[in-house]
Amino acid sequence: MNDLKTQNKHTARHQYLVAIDGALALTAVLLIVQMWLLTASLETHLGGDKDSAVPGAIFSFLLFSGNFGLYCFVSKLEKKARKKGL
């Protein structure tokens, strides 16, 4: 019986780690896209197109919101894991 509890604990821990790894990978991709967007918007703005700054800022805010949502998700997972003793 004790072996079954240990196996369930390891399985649950593995599931939490997979979720956190996925969120971390998605965060890295979103940050790279956000840096590219900043570079492209700034280059276009400095090139003379003054209308590109606002759409770039809006999309950058959406990317920031996505990253903040992922942070909240990982924070909740961590609290759950600590509460369960994983």
pLDDT at 15 over 70: yes
- CB-CB neighbours of 77 under 10 Å: 17
pLDDT at 17 over 90: no
From the centroid of its chain, how far is CA 16?
Answer: 15
User: What mean pLDDT do residues 15-25 have?
Assistant: 89
CA distance 19 to 70: 11
- CB-CB neighbours of 41 under 10 Å: 19
CA distance 6 to 51: 59
pLDDT in tens, 22-77: 999 999 999 999 999 999 999 999 998 888 888 988 999 999 999 999 999 999 98
- The three-point CA angle 27-21-59 to 5° equals 15
